[in-house]
Structures are given as structure tokens and as C-alpha cells.
Amino acid sequence: MAQTSAETLKTTPLYEQHIAAGGRMVPFGGYSLPVQYASGIMTEHKWTREHAGLFDVSHMGPSFLELSSKTGDADADHAAIAAVIEPLICGDIAGLKPGQIRYTLLLNAQGGTMDDLMVARSPRFPGALYIVVNAGTKDADFAHIAEAAGDRAKLTRADDGALLALQGPEAIDVLSALLPGVVELGFMQYGPFDWNGHTLIVSRSGYTGEDGFEILAPASIATTFWDTLLADERVKPIGLGARDSLRLEAGLPLYGHDLNETISPIEADLGFAVSKRRREAADFPGAARILAERENGPARKRVGLIVEGAPAREGAEILDAAGAVIGVVTSGGFAPSLGRAIALGFVPPAHIAIGTRLQVSIRGRAQAAEVVPTPFVPHRYFRKTTSS
């Protein structure tokens, strides 16, 4: 992938904080972002697993989609805004409760994945959604959503602020000391919180497999809030390198690698993202292909691999036991929590069973691999129990 030249790289509101902290800056998604700090990726990865890691993810695409005209009936207005976004995705947005977040997929007419994203129902403003898309696709995503909305709804970008991710088992204790109300949030819930007279949008979500939060802050207070979090000894700044190793251990797909416009939700092992109501209505892009794959199985499917020896990187060929090429690695690396190499990749259905022995070609040499369940490291999300 071609890198953007240094002269044209964007910076986040936290750029100077990264430089002051010794961050090693690299081009990523058109931005200059820290891949690691002085302690290194391995240390940062383990710190997040054990304490609380603070990530700058301001390159992502947060936005708000709101009805142009409202009736004043909260349920009717939510149904109307859901009807704007649902024709583009496979998730049930109409069924969201106030403050609830849904992971879903933006699909093309062929059932391929244009992006994966979060869509949430506002807990405060009927007829409004909070939407977060990926950095590399955000301009195209925003244009696609805005075009579909027409004059029914207005899309307002919020990527001029700062998006922070506080992840790890101590994240709740750290953040609740500043924003006590966040203890009421369960996994995939969000809400607005006041901090020093400013509104922060806080979601209990993340990309590490750990409990944690993503916090949208105005650019004007971003550095102050970042520094306030880092003043807690349980928090350290973490770069993109550890973010990637954490998400890989969590078995989470990375758009542009494990997902693209040719890969369907079923192939990507994301069938859960195709909501039941949408399946029954078959009213989403590419429904014919996706429902057929769900019923009969896809031609390929994403699997997790434990790789013996050196890590298999993206593009490495996956071989069967006899040495025939059957697939390709889409994400791979060393898993610090496991002390061994892991990978995600696509193979035909005949090779997806857990325990299947395969091989991966690394620099022309075949190394043993085995299909294993994902996530490689169990998720530790905080799910609230609700009474029926």
C-alpha cells in the first residue's frame, strides 16, 4: 500500500503529545500517528492487557446522522432515521434501544463489504444516530451515506475532534474517577458525559478484546483530557503496533485486509452482523448472495491459524497438507499474550474445521499451521445483565 508523503499527512489534535512522549510517528490512513513509544510494542501490548492503555484513534470517522424534519414522537423519529441508513447495511437499526450500539457492515450490491462500522441510537436526541466508520474509507462512506440520505437527513462529520480509546481491565476505574456515570454503561452502549463544562461522547467499546471505552472529545480540550488520563499511573500511551497485535489476538477483522469489497459477511465469519429481521426481509444489499451463502456455505471462509515458527504476514500463501495452495493470509503476526505466531486467512470450506492441519509458505518455506477457534485470546467485554 502506497504511503502518503510526509508533506501531505494530516495530524490529530494530539500530535504534539505524541512527539513529547517519544512516539515513533508513521503514516497511517493519511495521518501521522505513533506506531509505538519508547517502551516498545510488546510492553505496550501487555500493559493494555494488564492495566489501561490510551490510544489516539482520531483518524477514524465519527459522525452524526439526524433527521431534517422530526415529528416529536421519539419512536417514529427513530424509525424514520433507521429507514435512512438500513438500505445501505445489514444490521437492525430500527430495533436499537436509546444508547445502544450495533456493529454492522456497509455492503455493495454484490454483497461485498464496503466497510465495517458502528451505528448507535442517540440516548438524548430522537431521530439521530452516532456513526463511526473506518479511517481509510471515511470520505467514501460519508459521501455514500449522505447521498442516500438526500434531504431526509443531514450527516455531520465529527472527525475534526479527538477520538481516544482507553482499553484494559483498569479502564473502568480510571475513567469512572473522571466521569462517574460511565459505570452504568455496558458493552456496546454509549452516552454523553459532561467534563469541565464540555460534552464527551463515551462508548463502552473498542478494538482490543478488552473492556474499555472510546471517547469523542472536542479538539479544544483533547490535549487536556489526554494529559488528565495519563496522569493516572495505571494509564500509559499505546501506539498502533500494539493496537494491531491486540485486535489480531481478539480475532477482529481489519478493513482493507480481512474485509474488502469482494468479501461477504458470511465469508468473513461475521454472519452475526446480518440481523435476523433483515435476513427475514432480505432487504439489504447483496441479500441474494449472502442468504445463499448462509444456507449453503460460502466458497471460502475466514479462519484463525496458529503458525509454527516465524510469523506469517499478509499475503502469505496457505497450503493444504499436501502442499497445494488453498488460500491466503490476510492478517498475521506474533501474539505477545500467547508467545507464538497467529494469523487470519481465507480457505475453502473443506479446510475450516478446528484442528485441521495446514501449512503457510513464508519466504518459500512451508511452516506447519493449524486451524483454531477465534478469538485467540478470550474477549473480556463487560456485558450488563438485564432482568426480563
Is the CATH number of domain 61-148 3.30.70.1400?
yes
> Along the 388 residues of the chain, how does pLDDT read in single tens digits?
344 444 589 999 999 999 999 999 999 989 999 999 999 999 999 999 999 999 999 999 999 999 999 999 999 999 999 999 999 999 999 999 999 999 999 999 999 999 999 999 999 999 999 999 999 999 999 999 999 999 999 999 999 999 999 999 999 999 999 999 999 999 999 999 999 999 999 999 999 999 999 999 999 999 999 999 999 999 999 999 999 999 999 999 999 999 999 999 999 999 999 999 999 999 999 999 999 999 999 999 999 999 999 999 999 999 999 999 999 999 999 999 999 999 999 999 999 999 999 999 999 999 999 999 999 999 999 998 754 3
Q: Which homologous superfamily does the CATH classification assign to the domain defined by 299-376? A: Aminomethyltransferase beta-barrel domains (2.40.30.110)
Q: Please, where in the chain does CATH 3.30.1360.120 lie?
A: 2-58+161-249
Span 105-137, pLDDT tens digits: 999 999 999 999 999 999 999 999 999 999 999
The per-residue pLDDT for 7 is 59
Number of neighbours of residue 37 by Cβ within 10 angstroms = 20
Topology of domain 2-58+161-249, CATH: Gyrase A; domain 2 (3.30.1360)
The per-residue pLDDT for 77 is 98
Q: Please, where in the chain does CATH 3.30.70.1400 lie?
A: 61-148
